[in-house]
Structure 1
Amino acid sequence: MSLVAAEGIGRVIERVDDEPLTILTDVSLRVEPGERVSIVGRSGSGKSTLLNLLGMLDLPTSGRLEIAGEDVLSMSSRRRDRLRGANIGFVFQQFNLLDGRTASENVQMPLVYAGGSSYWRREAMADDMLDRVGLSHRRRSLPQSLSGGEQQRVAIARALVRRPRLILADEPTGALDVDTGISIMDLLDEIVAEEQSASITITHDPAIAALSERHYRLASGSLDEAVFA
């Protein structure tokens, strides 16, 4: 069963005083467990919109979308929320860290709602993931005391701590130096291999895109296969 099965999805925004704005047209993508996919596109090409649709933060206005074998458009918003929480880890361009919470507490947040042993082991699990992104020494630091690159790594640890089946990463290396960026992509690959999950990385950097197994380019709202070496 595919983790992602998108067929002909589009996203059009209706505007009161202007023509409708077409962001995506007829996008098809299938992603299987264990696959690493990258999508490259310029600013304004619709990359973030596509990621939001695949993460069920927004809905397509046309086409068909299945996540983990379930039809997204036919389910209730509550069911989408549950499916998202159980299966998807997001790495956003904006770090979205909680002020007043330590790095460890920020990483623990997805586990607060997990229930079972994950809830009771949340601190240990968070600290282990912080160690894997090289920030064990900053576990008690507040976001405002962290550099941009450190905040990005905390956000990545938070996205991975529940070992999601699908990792959606929007410019995950944008605030990092080259070496750290490559190490973070290696970590994403490790999690995918360990859990037989899948990752979709949105990036403007062909060098980062080349680290994935399958590559696509998004331009003028359409998605096409590409080669990055």
Structure 2
Amino acid sequence: MPFLELHGVGRTLTRLDDRPLTILSGIDLSIEQGDRISVVGRSGSGKSTLLNLLGLLDSPTEGEIRLEGLDVSQFSNRRRDLTRGRDIGFVFQQFNLLHGRTALENVSTPLLYERGATFWKRTAIAAEMLERVGLGNRLSSTPVQLSGGEQQRVAVARALVRRPRLILADEPTGALDIETGETVMALLDEIATASNAALVTITHDPSIAARAHRQYTLEDGGLIARDLITPDLISRGPVTRAKLSGCNS
């Protein structure tokens, strides 16, 4: 059974003039444990909206999302929160670090929801994860004392510290130089492999997208498998949106 499934999912908002604005429509996607999926698209194509739906931060206005076969719309707010905290790790493009808290405190925060030995050892676990992203010497630094690239690495460490089953990364290398970006992606892959987690990466970088087993493009609110974008389709004009469920590249 897939870990997460989207069936005919869409997201429509209402403009200030009461006209509807459709951001996503008819999205079918199946995510298995161990999957590596990348999604590329122009600014405004709905990539962040898709990521928020996958992370249970937003609800679809059409279709359904199922987590291990269960309809997420039936979850209480508390259950959704617990599921996100336990099973989903986020690497946000804007970092979303806690200002005024140190790097160590930021990374250890997700472990406050753990129990037993993990809870009591949370500081040591967080310090080890920061060491792995190359910030072992910046444990006591706050976000304002860190560069953009360092803040990004703190965000990656925070996302991975609980060994989530699904990692959602929004432009995880956007603030990094090429070498550090490769190191961070290798770490994401390593942690995901060790825990058999799925990794979904939103990126503008073709080299980062190419690391995934399955590659998609968001266009006109729909999700297109990149192996369906062929020269003959391109020569005929806009690519027809395909509804997909676990299509391999």
TM-score w.r.t. structure 1 length? 0.96
The ranges of structure 1 where at least 4 consecutive aligned residues each deviate by more than 3 angstroms after the TM superposition are none
Q: Distance in 1 between matches of 2:98 and 2:80?
A: 24
Q: Which amino acid aligns with 2:171?
A: E
Q: CA deviation at 1:146?
A: 0.6
Secondary structure of 1:117 counterpart = helix
Q: CA deviation at 1:70?
A: 2.4
Residue of structure 1 equivalent to 2:97: 97
Q: CA deviation at 1:35?
A: 1.0
Q: Distance in 1 between matches of 2:189 and 2:40?
A: 18
Residue of structure 1 equivalent to 2:19: 19
Q: Distance in 2 between matches of 1:47 and 1:63?
A: 18
Secondary structure of 1:138 counterpart = coil
Secondary structure of 1:217 counterpart = strand
Residue of structure 1 equivalent to 2:141: 141
Root mean square deviation of aligned Cα: 1.5
**Structure 1 residue runs without a partner (length 5+):** none
User: Contact (CA 8 Å) 1:35, 1:192: kept in 2 or not?
Assistant: no
Q: Which amino acid aligns with 1:75?
A: F
Q: CA deviation at 1:68?
A: 3.4
**Structure 2 residue runs without a partner (length 5+):** 230-248
**14-23 or 215-224, larger mean C-alpha shift:** 14-23
Q: Distance in 2 between matches of 1:141 and 1:55?
A: 28
Secondary structure of 2:137 counterpart = helix
**1:84 correspondence with 2:84:** yes
Percent identity among equivalent residues? 60
TM-score w.r.t. structure 2 length? 0.89
Secondary structure of 2:27 counterpart = strand
Q: Distance in 1 between matches of 2:221 and 2:192?
A: 28
Q: Distance in 2 between matches of 1:160 and 1:27?
A: 27
Aligned length: 229
Residues 26-105 of structure 1: pairs in structure 2 closer than 5 A: 26-105=26-105
User: Which structure's CA Rg is the greater one?
Assistant: 2
Residues 196-211 of structure 1: pairs in structure 2 closer than 5 A: 196-211=196-211
